[in-house]
Chains A and B, each alone.
Chain A
Amino acid sequence: MQQQTKDTDARRQWMGVLAKSDESHVVQLWAGLSDLPAWEYLRRPEVGLVMVRGRMGGDGGPFNLGEMTVTRCSVRLQNGVVGHAWVAGRSARHAEMAAIADALMQDGDWRARVGEKLLAPLQSKLADDRGRAERKAAATRVDFFTMVRGED
């Protein structure tokens, strides 16, 4: 059970990285993977909308933040491993690559290679981008404070 949770967490993490990365960056790194196994579509890429929900402060009541465009795709490798992807945006190619990568990451023979050549660079790029955005926001930060006016 513990192992299963760990696997699910790991998969959730790499699916998130694949989904949020820039398509151009994925394409660029994809070129570095060679001799990929044969695969076929289980579900061809299709574009749709999902409702993004949020919770104020992380523990408030859930509310609908808004809809976003996603593309989903599912593939099956030659050996029967199934990969799924839901990626942001409307790129069929991105969804397809993400689904294949998800399948490869579940395959013992491929995991290390795809993790090193694809996932690691994508993840560090996402972390860099996030760090940059955070620094930019921090530079304009204003601390509000109010003096007690002692009126009552």
Chain B
Amino acid sequence: MNALAPQTGLLPGFNDPVADSQKMFRAVLEAMSRPGTIVTAPVLPVAPQPLNPVAAALILALADYETPLWLDPAARQPAAIDYVRFHCGCPLVEAPDQAGFALVTDAKSMPPLSAFHLGSDEYPDRSTTVIVQVPHLDGGEAWRLKGPGIRDQAILAAGQLPSAFKAWVQDNHALFPRGVDLLFAAPGQLAGLPRSTLLEG
């Protein structure tokens, strides 16, 4: 890497696009099928400001020209925009309810989950998958999770989320089979919270 100006211009994506995307996709499958489990990210690319490497890896692995991407206002910076345009070629949308994927880098000021595309009864799979960048996955308010993929119960304690977040997730679950799926991207780790998961206490 260039030590003088690591953030100038475009940054490289995955070292080996095919294998790295597959490894990352496998990690997402693991996180989504076992909600609340903390999965170690298998690859960590150099990320443009203000993304963390895990969020960048998720976007690289998931987004392509067929998936409209919504970036939260904090992420709408030239470095990040150029990065996703070049590596993913995905259309960027202004409205969160038009997005296939959404990236939230500043969780504190994120829109409610109901602002994203919730899918329809005919096509619940068309809802937005929201990637929320958080500073850590433990040490926040602990939620007890129940539902498919969880044997007894799982604990997730993602940090620095808006105070209403828990209520949003509960409302989101009530919409099932509609609703958004959540992925939390913390430094080096990720966790999933699909719409099928019930939040208790």
Chain A residues packing against B (C-beta within 8 Å): 38, 40-44, 46, 74, 76, 78-82
Contact = CB atoms under 8 A, between A and B. Distances in A.
B9 A43 contact: no
B10 A40 contact: no
B12 A41 contact: yes
B5 A80 contact: yes
B9 A44 contact: no
A134 B13 CA distance: 44
9 contacts: A38-B2, A40-B2, A41-B12, A42-B12, A43-B12, A74-B86, A76-B9, A76-B12, A82-B9
Contact of A42 (B1, B16, B86): B86
A99 B138 CA distance: 44
- List the 9 closest A-B pairs by CB distance, nearest first: A80-B9, A80-B8, A42-B12, A78-B2, A82-B10, A42-B10, A82-B9, A41-B12, A40-B12
Which range contains the number of B residues in contact with the other chain?
Answer: 10 to 19
A41 B12 CA distance: 6
Interface of B: 1-2, 4-5, 8-13, 15-17, 86-87
A81 B5 CA distance: 12
A43 B2 contact: no
Contacts, number: 34
A46 B16 CA distance: 11
A43 B13 contact: yes
A42 B16 CA distance: 11
Nearest to B9: A80
Given A42-B86, A44-B17, A81 B2 contact: no
A18 to B, nearest CB: 20
A80 B13 CA distance: 15
A117 B111 CA distance: 56
Contacts of A43: 12-13, 17, 86-87
Given A42-B86, A43-B87, A81 B12 contact: no
A76 B86 CA distance: 13
Contacts of B1: 40
A64 to B, nearest CB: 20
Contacts of A79: 2
A81 B9 CA distance: 7
Contact of A80 (B2, B12, B16, B86): B2
A74 B86 CA distance: 10
Given A80-B2, A80-B8, 7 more contacts: A40-B1, A42-B12, A43-B86, A46-B17, A78-B2, A81-B9, A82-B9
B86 to A, nearest CB: 7
A41 B86 CA distance: 13
A76 B8 CA distance: 10
Contacts of A40: 1-2, 12
